[in-house]
Structure 1
Amino acid sequence: MKLVKKTRKSPQWNRRVFGRLLVLIIAAIFVVFAGRFIYIAATGQIAGVDLTKRSHKKYEEDTVVRAQRGTIYDSLGNVLAQDTNAYSVYAVLSHDYVGTNKKPLYVTNKKKVAKILSQYLPLSEAKIYKQMTPTNQAVYQVEFGSAGQNLSLSIKRKIEAQKLTGIYFKESPTRLYPNGTFASHVIGLAQTSKSATADGSQDLVGVMGIEKYFNQQLTGEDGYKNLMQDSYGYALSQKQNKVKAAKNGQDVYLTIDSRLQSYLESLLTTVNKKYKPVSMNAVLMNAKTGEILAASQRPTFNASTKKGIGDIWRDTLVEDGYEPGSVLKIATLSAAIDSGNYNPNEYYKSGSVQVGDKKISDWQTSGWGTIPLSQAFARSSNVGMVKLEQEMGSDVWKSYLTKFGFMKKTGIELPGEVSGSLQYTRPLDQATTSFGQGINVNVMQMLQMTSAIANNGTMIQPQILAGVGKRKTIEPIKVGQPIKASTAKEVLQNMEDVVYQDYGTGQVYQIPNYKVAVKTGTAQITAPTGGYLTGANNYIFSVGGIAPADDPKYILYITMKQPQQMTDSAETILSQIFNPMMQRALEYTKKAEKDKQQQVKLPSVLTKATKTAQSELTEAGLKTALVGSGNLVVQQVPSAGSIILPNQRVLLMTNGAMTMPDVTGWSKNDLLKLSQLTGIQVEIKGSGYAYQQSLATNGLLDGVKKVKVQLK
């Protein structure tokens, strides 16, 4: 047999070379992987990622614990603004959204979903089905517009109870203003911020009024939960968990009295509809303490629905400066008397007076002939005031304007307060300030000035804050003594003359059984082109009053700009607000003083049996009404600790479904409590007491958005 010599080209040789090469490659790969594993084990990192932290993160869950924004209360403990949650519903359509074992988490039965959702949303079944059947098949999820937003918790729970596959909810904080149009610019608004937080949610931020001024105090501090869990999602040792509790915002208490505020809103609305002024302001203040008991403006808006918010964003009570007109004559007369430059028996010629190259006229241009200075104030004579300014001298008069706090903010706890301004370079400027022209003020400055007359010369600061965190006893904040007590008494008598002398301009402001002191005002409005507007209605009409004059308790100040339908005199129009408002306040005080010894501090009946709670409150001399048919009390309004009068109604919400109480005989204030407790809008029509309700007694309130109640 002939042996064949192996060559480099022979198959055997090639196989041997390839085999050795393969072994070398495998060995090299093994060395690389081994080196990689050794590196990872030594450093604990891969591609710059810390594997220990990454693994730790896999088995932990971070949750933000949302803080609650503080609640705003009135002086009676009624809620004016509080946090609540709103929900938006959406449907996932993408078949990529599946769970374990490929279980569908998307909408699988669109017709069923549309049928059920139509029972809870203001959309038809067909419309919902159409929205869930978009032409673009790549749509991942759909929402349902405004109809699917701002859903209550009860509606959310009802939809969830249907166990609809593919239907989910987004939660967002919102602010509840149960009273609607109610000191809206004063209380203000809190809205969701434009920028989202780390967890994708949005915080509430105050953008107006008290909500803005005390935003930092009202805003809480979010907490967090960092929980360790195993690969199945079960919690591990508590020692490894990190928990920081949320710190809720502080509550804010105001001096506003809801009963007086509601009445003021009603009066302003009536006058506003009838005479259609461009704007109005009205503030009722406690003359002794400076507490703002009621304050509002027109135009205004409904804080609950936001209707009308586009008409005006400013709080005109503090943010607008204006020429006050003749109500400022209170300061002029005060300065003249206090500085020793007033002789009531001195006569002067009324009608007009020449100052430089300008003639200044009385509102009755022909004047009243030669009259004593004692009549100048009651007649609201501009000429008489100019005479007083000239006898004082410009420096003395200006010093009193400063003493009365003009050109300086009062410091009331509302954002955007203006300081005002003074035009005082020429003798003409100095003369016109004596009757309220050439000087810009804000509403609170006028109240502050008038307080010196009501408090024997001591001037007090207007206050709207009754406490942050807890309610405090309001003490007057004295901001000066611009005039002597004797001066204040003489000016007060002159203000009475405005009402009770036959030559007074404010006779229409008489209130039966009470002595009233007022000053009327008519201020010209600066024209855009210079000078002043002309025409019977192109003025800012005003009245500032004190009552009772013999023992001042209240100061009421009202302004009205350019009524478009001026079918009555300015005094007649303003008296339709001033007289009933002041009378209501005075009667309220008389009743409060009578019932002072009978006041009740409301106990807490939360978690108590319903019958026990009712029995305790009845024994305390209070009425009760149930919202629900459960056996335990879960909420109460007014809140525990509130100081209330006997025979007031306390609303108790029980566990279980919310049900509609019989509201026959309820006052408007009781109905507002119902809205506050349930979060449901109560639409009130008429005045007096409730006699008709749109939802029957014991009807389910869950899912109801509005209940209508007729008063008579």
Structure 2
Amino acid sequence: MKRKSPQRQANATHPTRNRKGFGIILMFIAAVGLVAFACRFAYVALGGKVDSANLSQYRQKVVARNSVLKAKRGTIYDRSGNVIAEDSNTYTIYAVLDQNYVDGKKKLYVTDKAKTAKVLAKYLPLSEAKINAILHPKAKNTFQVEFGTAGTGLSLATKQEIQAEHLSGIKFSDSPSRLYPNGVFASHVVGLAQPKDHAKSTDQLVGVMGLEKQFNQTLKGTNGYRTSQTDAYGYQLPDSQVKTQAAVNGGSVTTTIDSSLQSYLETLMTSVATKYQPKSLSAVLEDPKTGEILAASQRPTFDPSTGDGLGDMWRDILVEDNYEPGSVMKIFTLAAAIQSGKYYPNSYYRSGTVKVADTTIKDWNTTGWGTIPLNQAFPRSSNVGMVKIEQTMGATVFSEYLRKFGFGQQTGIALPGETSGKFDFGAYLDSAMASFGQSIDVNTMQLMQAVSAVANKGPMVKPRLVEKITDKKGKTTTYGRQVVAKPISKSTATQVTDAMRAVVSASYGTGAAYKMNGVDLAVKTGTAQIAGSSGGYLTGDSNYIFSVMGMAPASNPKYVLYISMKQPQKMTAPAESIMAEIFKPMMARALALEGNGDTTSDQAEVASVPNVMNTAMATGQQKLQTAGFSVATIGTGSQIVQQLPTSGGSALKGSRVLILTNGAMTMPDVSGWSKSDVLKLAQLTGKKFSLKGSGYATQQSLKAGALLGDDPVVIQFQQK
């Protein structure tokens, strides 16, 4: 046996000392680790960070749930408080297919695809086979599927109908939308509000056109929020703090639009646009006393609810288009000449042609009417005669009055994109051509503003579309009549009105097509050439902008109606006859809204017309009678569904208010009715009436109580 070395013997004899040394080393390592851990803990606790991650923010992200409280976009109303545009939601449908999507034992995915396809085919514009194919995607592990555009933009009613089918796995997401209950209804004027591109469900709509755009800041609300602390499953933590900021809904805009008149105008416009297919068509009805636009429309137009037609015309041609107005401009040429003392109506001139600079200007009747007095130039719409008037007045004076009438500058109407128009008489020919509406650019609202000076016997009133706005805080701002200038005197306005009367009444006038029996009417027709893209003007019978400006009653105009039609593609009738299909019924309908003609005293008392819509017939009748009105009832029902005049307006006490019930539409006894009351009856029922004579109704071809049909009812009038 080998003997151990002395060193090995020493180690073997001191095992306790070895273990002690090893323990010291372990304790040292543990102490270092503990110190390092303590330092790290202190760093994390005090600094709130791990590497670059902020623990406080991370915790908030994990357990803080933020929800947006959506604000409602404000409402746009007509003059009587009827809704034109209001806040809404649309819905997108989708189907969950993942079979792991359950709540306990409740299956939250589509369990019966065949049944689901069959049911959804009743509500979506997709076939049962197509829906079934969507529910069987090729990709495996598909969590959910959607149904394309067919499954978007669903109304609340459609959503509720589908939910009532109790289909498992069928879900909906919502997005903000705008409801336009009247469809095509002053669409470019009211405008459009749409989601932003790539909008989230919490984003608000943005006005992109018309009043929606002009008053976007007023109409849009301010979203609120709600913040709460939740666990990983979404349940609120005990004693956690909830922060809430309430949403602020948008304000409202009340317009000057009369829904009854606007709806009727849309009907007339559609009829003419369909029949004659003009490239564009516009019409504006205004109360010149107040500047209120009661109805305004254009073609092409669109349905803001569906977007149909939006691609055909984005511009609001009433304010965004400059154009040469043609002979309607002669109203202001004549007014300027009379006001400046440079009009000599009894002097004679040679009609037909006149040479200005190097250009020959012709009358529409190129052979002329021989040598005629200057007072026939306006009713005959003689370009040569207007040039003679302008030459006597001079370009400087003419230009001065055009500016007084507001041409070459915006009216400031509450619509986006209004043009200023322009005229520049740098060349003598320009001034001469402007006298009959060429070589000058205007927009429709400038014409409406300028003609108000004639209608009001001097004061020129700014056109307006807004009655009042109410902001988010409830503060209301009301807009009233605004006189912007007085370019002419009462005497001048009266003479211009008489000349416009002659356009309709004189045997040589150009406005015979607009004559309305029993209506004191003042009119000016217009035919403007259209500039070609390569210089000069287009040729051809239909390559014109045809127009008419009319006022009624001419002695004290309550309505001004302007219609413009560009290049009818199917011109199967004279331009005046085509536009008369809008002008005459529209003006008649407007005049029908006036109070009963029996009351003419300046001391007559005016009262507000109460709202009796959707009330019992007896209750409504009593309410109207208590307010001081006479009541005429049409129909056999027990519930009132329409009334004229509409609520909110004012009418003379004792005047007749017509109410339509939900029963069969029957003919009332109209004995003693004024023409305006019979016209109200035509408006309310939509039936045809032929009015003969003047004064008050004495006979009717359909007896009282008989059903109103499609045949015209003849009403005979006689003076008392």
The alignment's TM-score, normalised by the length of structure 1, stands at 0.81
Given residue 88 of structure 1, which amino acid in structure 2 is its aligned partner?
T
The answer (yes or no) to whether the contact 2:610–2:623 under 8 Å persists in 1 is no
User: CA separation in 2, counterparts of 1:444 and 1:205?
Assistant: 26
Q: Which residue of 1 aligns with 2:504?
A: 499
- The corresponding residue for 2:302 is 301
Cα offset, 1:140, TM superposition: 3.0
d(CA) in 2 for partners of 1:129, 1:114 = 5
Shift of 1:55: 3.6
Give the C-alpha shift of residue 351 in structure 1: 1.1
- 1:67 alignment partner, one of 57, 60, 71: 71
Aligned match for 2:533, one of 505, 528, 532: 528
Alpha carbons 1:69, 1:82 under 8 Å: kept: yes
Q: Structure 1: which 5+ runs fail to align?
A: 606-610, 626-635, 651-661, 668-685, 690-710
Shift of 1:462: 0.8
Q: CA deviation at 1:442?
A: 0.4
Alignment partner for residue 568 of structure 1, among 568, 573, 576?
573
Partner of 2:390: 389
Q: 1:196 maps to what in 2?
A: 199
Alignment of 1:109-148 (within 5 A): 109-148=112-151
Query: Are residues 1:379 and 2:377 paired?
Result: no
Q: How much does 1:524 deviate?
A: 0.7
Which deviates more, 302-311 or 391-400? 302-311
Please tell me whether the aligned partners of residues 106 and 166 of structure 1 are also in contact (alpha carbons under 8 angstroms). Answer: yes
Residues 1:178 and 2:181 are matched in the alignment: yes
Say if 2:543 and 2:567, in contact at 8 Å, map to a contact too: yes
Distance in 1 separating the partners of 2:395 and 2:361: 17
Paired residue for 2:690? none
Aligned to 2:344: 343
Per-residue CA shift, 1:579-623, capped at 9, x if unaligned? 111111112123599798564444999xxxxx9x99966753599
**2:408 paired with 1:403:** no
Deviation at 1:484, TM superposition (A): 1.2
Paired position in structure 1 for 2:587 = 582
- Measure, in 2, the Cα distance between the counterparts of 1:434 and 1:189: 38
SS in 2 for 1:422: coil
Work out which of the two has the higher radius of gyration on C-alpha atoms and give 1 or 2. 2
Name the amino acid aligned to 2:359. K
In the aligned structure 1, how far is the partner of 2:597 from the partner of 2:56?
Answer: 69
The one-letter code sitting in structure 2 at the alignment partner of 1:559 is S
- After TM superposition, give the deviation of residue 223 of structure 1 in Å: 1.0
Give the C-alpha shift of residue 415 in structure 1: 0.8
Q: CA 1:593 to 1:103, structure 2 compared with 1: closer, same or farther past 3 Å? A: farther
Greater CA deviation, 517-526 or 594-603?
Answer: 594-603
Aligned equivalent of 1:510: 515
Letter in structure 1 aligned against 2:381: S
Q: In the TM superposition, what whole-angstrom CA distance separates every residue of 1:258-306 from its partner, at most 9, and x where no partner exists?
A: 1111111111111111211111111010021111011111111122221
Moved more, 431-440 or 31-40: 31-40
**8 A Cα contact 2:319 2:443, kept in partner:** yes
Task: Give the superposition deviation at 1:417.
Answer: 0.6
| Aligned counterpart, 2:95 | 91
1:548-627 equivalence runs, <5 A = 548-591=553-596, 599-602=608-611, 619-621=622-624
Letter of the 1:91 counterpart: A
The 1-side partners of 2:447 and 2:441 are apart by 11
SS at match of 2:261: helix
1:544 is matched with which residue? 549
Indicate the residue corresponding to 1:631 in structure 2.
Answer: none
- Tell me by how many angstroms 1:253 deviates: 0.8
Assess if the C-alpha contact under 8 Å between 1:617 and 1:624 holds in 2: no
| Aligned alpha-carbon RMSD (Å) | 3.8
Structure 2 unpaired stretches of 5+: 625-630, 636-641, 651-655, 668-683, 688-708, 711-720
* Pairing of 1:5-404 with structure 2 (within 5 A): 28-56=32-60, 58-94=62-98, 97=101, 105-160=108-163, 164-196=167-199, 201-229=202-230, 235=236, 240-404=241-405
Deviations along 1:114-158, one digit per CA (max 9) or x if unpaired, are 344345434344432321211111433210112222222243344
Q: Match for 2:407: what amino acid?
A: F
Aligned CA distance change for structure 1 residues 97 and 357 (closer, same or farther; 3 Å): same
CA distance in 2, matches of 1:237, 1:503: 91
Aligned equivalents of 2:349, 2:445: Cα separation in 1: 34
One-letter amino acid of the counterpart of residue 257, structure 1: D
Q: How many residue pairs were aligned?
A: 641
CA contact 1:92–1:167 (8 Å) conserved in 2: yes
Deviation at 1:663, TM superposition (A): 7.7
Equivalents in 2 of 1:663, 1:471: separation in Å? 40
The alpha-carbon deviation at position 429 of structure 1 amounts to 1.2
Query: Matched residues in 2 for 1:407 and 1:8: separation?
Result: 119
For 1:263 and 1:649, locate their aligned partners in 2 and report how far apart those are by CA, in whole Å: 17
In 1, the alpha carbon distance for the partners of 2:477 and 2:596 equals 23
Measure, in 1, the Cα distance between the counterparts of 2:415 and 2:197. 24
From the superposition, tell whether residues 218 and 397 of structure 1 become closer, same or farther in structure 2 (CA, over 3 Å).
Answer: same
Is the Cα contact below 8 Å between 2:514 and 2:580 reproduced in 1?
yes
How has the CA–CA distance of structure 1 residues 234 and 133 changed in structure 2, closer, same or farther, with 3 Å as cutoff? closer
Distance 2:11 2:114 in 1: 76
Aligned to 1:657: none
Distance (Å, rounded) in 2 between the aligned partners of 1:278 and 1:34? 83
Question: Does the alignment pair 1:454 with 2:455?
Answer: yes
1:516-567 superposed Cα distances (whole Å, 9 cap, x missing partner):
0011111111111101111111111111011101111111111111111212
Structure 1 contact 194–202 (Cα < 8 Å) conserved: no
The residue type paired with residue 184 of structure 1 is S
Report SS of the residue matched to 2:310: coil
The farther-off stretch of 541-550 and 128-137 is 128-137
Give the share of equivalent positions with the same residue, in percent. Answer: 51
Change beyond 3 A, Cα 1:67–1:3: farther
1:211 CA drift (Å)? 0.8
What one-letter code is carried by the residue in structure 2 that aligns with 1:85?
N
Write out aligned runs for 1:424-463 (5 A): 424-463=425-464
Mapped partners of 1:98, 1:624: distance in 2: 60
Tell me how far apart the structure 2 counterparts of residues 9 and 666 of structure 1 sit (CA, whole Å). 129
In the other structure, the counterpart of 2:702 is none
Task: Give the structure 2 partner of residue 658 of structure 1.
Answer: none
Mapped partners of 1:106, 1:643: distance in 2: 56
Residues in 2 aligned to 1:113 and 1:147: alpha-carbon distance in whole angstroms: 16
